[in-house]
Amino acid sequence: MNTRAILVGLVLGLGLGIAASATGSPALLQAAEAVAPLGEVFLRAIQMVVIPLVATVVFVGVARIGNLRRLGRLGGLAVGFFWITTLPAILIGMGVMSLALTFTTPVPPPTPVTELDTATPGVVAFLVNLVPRNPIQAAADGSLLSLLIFVVLLAAAATTLPEDKREALTSLAETVGDALIRLMTWILWTAPVGVFGLAAPVIAQTGMAMLQNLAVFIVAVVAGFFILKGVVLLPMVRIFGGMGPGRFMRGTVGTYTVGFTTTTSVGTLPMMLQEAEKLGLSKSTFSLVLPLAASINRPGSALFQSTSLVFLAAMYGVPLDAGLVAAAVLAIFLASMTVAPVPSASIVTMAPALDVVGVPVAGLGILLGIDRVPDVFRSATNVIAHMAAATTVDRMTRRRWRESGRPRGHSPGS
């Protein structure tokens, strides 16, 4: 995906939209509306792929986690750390954006509120509807949270199969996922045209107020990342990992820099392995935890998705009551830990959470055009979370080895 080309498409769309809004020219307003089908086709293409992509990635992720039972306590501690840091990341994102909304200006939503289904089911009805009568029908209806529940249960059942059957099923899902990722990558190459078609009519309707709100959104997201590191990750490293924040930050400068510039956890893995060794972590620990973290640990993505959900819900006038917030937290929790390795995947995989609260997926196109700035901070936060996980798990496993009387190099899973 060409980031520069997307920025060009965004700038052109913003320029057309601002000119139409500022001048009120019928010709410019008509031109802004005329390019809307370009954005609609782009969104339809994303929707075409996102349901099977999320389903296969979640299946593979859960199935692989299930196999961690053979790796013993080390794998369990690592996954536990991922879960413990993901939940506060979601809550921080929602809290930060709720505060930031006080600095935004109300704008008319791109989709009229009267066209949205903002009805909120009761708690009992919500819990009942989590179990789909027909998973295929749930996918066709876009009920992604119900579909994800089925996929998670199916993946859990797959872990109990004989190893050859389990591996065959998981490999098939992984292959399908790889093909869908390739297809999504092709679609995202058309993002410059799609973003142009999405931005122009939206800005023509909302004017400069939308640009101001997007600026507030970016500031809120970046602030949330630093709060997550300062309030959750560094204290966990200090309390459970036994390492001072100063030493940890000095020892992970390279990891943060590479993650910031490459925007990929997998691409940062070689640097993480080097710096984990320099920090004095056990190789038997970080050689497992870091690759695992690069695959499924995404607290930065979870924070971004929760912030985005609150922002888009406010833009479309969708009220978030306690039931919808709980449902959104569950959807983001599942989706963020299995974010596919494609550019802006944190945006693409937000569809389940948006579906739960009734926000149109069209809002994702608005965020896609400005994702470059959040993306670099999001990726840097994710890789620091990986290093925090390795540091914490290493200290905890060493302590347990000492208590059990086993030598330091002994595998905790043997």
> If you write DSSP's letter for every residue of 271-283 in order, what string do you get?
HHHHHHHHTT--H
CA distances from 207 to 113, 203, 245, 340 (A): 18, 5, 44, 34
Listed residue (227, 208, 236) closest to 99, CA to CA:
227
Structure tokens at 50: 């996102």
> In 253-371, where does DSSP find H-type helix?
253-262, 265-278, 283-296, 299-315, 322-336, 345-348, 351-357, 363-368
pLDDT < 50 regions, the chain: 112-121, 408-414
The conformational region for residue 148 under phi > 0 = left, psi -120 to 50 = alpha, else beta, is alpha
Structure tokens at 47: 């929707």
| DSSP-derived secondary structure for 367-388 | HHTTTHHHHHHHHHHHHHHHHH
CA distances from 185 to 130, 205, 223, 254, 348 (A): 31, 30, 29, 28, 11
Listed in sequence order, the residues at least 6 apart from 119 whose beta carbon sits closer than 8 Å to its beta carbon are 358
Which pLDDT score, from 0 to 100, does residue 72 have? 57
Which pLDDT score, from 0 to 100, does residue 405 have? 52
Which pLDDT score, from 0 to 100, does residue 209 have? 75
Q: Report how far residue 364's alpha carbon sits from residue 355's, in angstroms, rounded to the nearest whole number.
A: 12
Which pLDDT score, from 0 to 100, does residue 409 have? 46
Which pLDDT score, from 0 to 100, does residue 410 have? 43
Task: Please count the other Cβ atoms lying within 10 Å of the Cβ belonging to residue 250.
Answer: 11
Which pLDDT score, from 0 to 100, does residue 412 have? 38
At how many degrees (to 10) do helices 144-158 and 36-66 cross?
Answer: 30
Contact 2, 159 (CB under 8 A): no
Contact 307, 221 (CB under 8 A): yes
Q: Report how far residue 35's alpha carbon sits from residue 108's, in angstroms, rounded to the nearest whole number.
A: 19
Task: Please count the other Cβ atoms lying within 10 Å of the Cβ belonging to residue 399.
Answer: 12
Which pLDDT score, from 0 to 100, does residue 221 have? 95
pTM assigned to the model: 0.72
